[in-house]
Amino acid sequence: MNRLCLPLSLNEAETLLLDDIVQRSTPIHRGGIVYEEGEPFTNLYALRSGALKGYRHCSNGNIQITDFVLPGEVFGLDGVSSGKHQCSVQALETASVCALPFDLLQQLGRTLPILQTHLMEAVSGCVQAKMEHLCLVTQYSAYERIKALILNLSKRYASLGQSALHFRLPMSRADIGCHLGMTIETVSRCLSRLREEQVITLDNREIRILKPEALRSTARPANKP
């Protein structure tokens, strides 16, 4: 089912129905844009390979990276309620994307309840991720934010059937800082501390987790006693 971009348990006839509406794009190279903030919402998307970042422009002129997208994940949900995308999505590296026309998905969902359930789960997961990220950047120290990001990526790679302990960071330190509300220097210091404490090894962007339990032991929020 990977070629269809959605991890659903469908029979052959149902698979063909879904396959008919999936639109596969040409490869999007690093820096390429999938869609931009303010564009009309017509599709949900699923990432087949590569990595993406979502970002939006703040009222003060700064850019905020809202999330990172890994293979197998659905994105584009930001446009469902308003009819316009609330952020832009850009390739961090060469990526392959599937477009899923939303109106056709809704129609097909009436025939395939499992598809409707999957989409609702995707919406719920997106809301939960936003809430967790808000809590992270407002309540926890920079060091704990880095730990939480690495642990989050570890869990997501594991859900894709890849190693939870050895993977490549697709984003730059500048992107990490923009996502977590930190400077590049602070990101580098936190990663160096994790290396010094032998929690991880880091070679360029190749990360190996040596002490996963240390990442799970998140300290209290920074503004709490």
Per-residue pLDDT tens digits for 179-225: 999 999 999 999 999 999 999 999 999 999 999 999 987 644 444 43
Sequence ranges of the domains in the chain: 2-135, 141-216
What is the architecture, at CATH level 2, of domain 141-216?
A: Orthogonal Bundle (1.10)
Q: Which two tokens stand for residue 36?
A: 């931009």
pLDDT, residue 65, reads: 95
d(CA 93, CA 111): 36
- Which pLDDT tens digit goes with each residue over 38-88? 999 999 998 989 999 999 998 888 899 999 999 988 899 899 889 999 999
Neighbours of 20 (CB within 10 A): 9
As a whole-number percent, the residues of the chain with pLDDT over 70 amount to 89
Query: How far is the CA of 12 from the CAs of 8, 9, 60, 72, 111, in angstroms?
Result: 12, 10, 51, 21, 14
**Fold of the 2-135 domain:** Jelly Rolls (2.60.120)
Task: Give the mean pLDDT of 101-118.
Answer: 81
Q: Taking residues 80-107, report their average pLDDT.
A: 92
Residue found under tokens 């929690």: 199
Residues 170-176, mean pLDDT to the nearest whole number = 96
Angle made by CA atoms 6, 9, 13, in degrees to the nearest 5 = 95
Distance CA(173)–CA(209), nearest Å, equals: 18
